Amino acid sequence: VRDISTNLVEVTLREIATQIKLKEKYSISLSVFNTLPVKRTEVTKVSFYAPSKNFDIIDSEGNMVDFTIEASDDETDYILDQTIQLNPGNKFITRKIYKVVVSIFAKMFLPWDISNFILMKIKK
């Protein structure tokens, strides 16, 4: 029962996150949910797929967010050989796909709120 409820929550939160409209076409967003009834400021570990290992993270106000890359693995062959679509509504195509784990310093998450971050590729 616990696995079913956890999966249901994850699927529901993912569906909510995919409905968030982004300002820039092909932006990659990270949505972090505060599921507690209190304000929170803490380091949050987030796992996601990215087209580069060289990026910045900004908040919804355009401010740079402090983060540390904990792990980064090239998953290109695995993902492209699967029927997995990272975001089926997005026509963005990338040559590389990395599974990245970062620790983000999340400031003042309001109770029961969603904080959105945007992944910005750093120009070489």
For 68-101, the pLDDT digits (tens) are 999 999 999 888 777 655 565 666 667 888 999 9
CB 65 within 8 Å of CB 105:
yes
Nearest partner of 119 among 17, 42, 15, 49, judged by Cα: 49
pLDDT band at 65 (very low <50, low <70, confident <90, very high): very high
* Exposed / middle / buried, residue 44 (Cβ in 10 Å: 0-12, 13-18, 19+): middle
Structural domain count, the chain = 1
pLDDT of residue 60: 81
| Mean pLDDT of the region 24-33 | 76
CATH assignment of the domain containing 19: 2.60.40
Residue 44's domain comprises: 2-121
| Mean pLDDT of the region 95-112 | 89
pLDDT above 90 covers a percentage of the chain that reads 23
Question: Which tokens hold the place of 8?
Answer: 């249901």
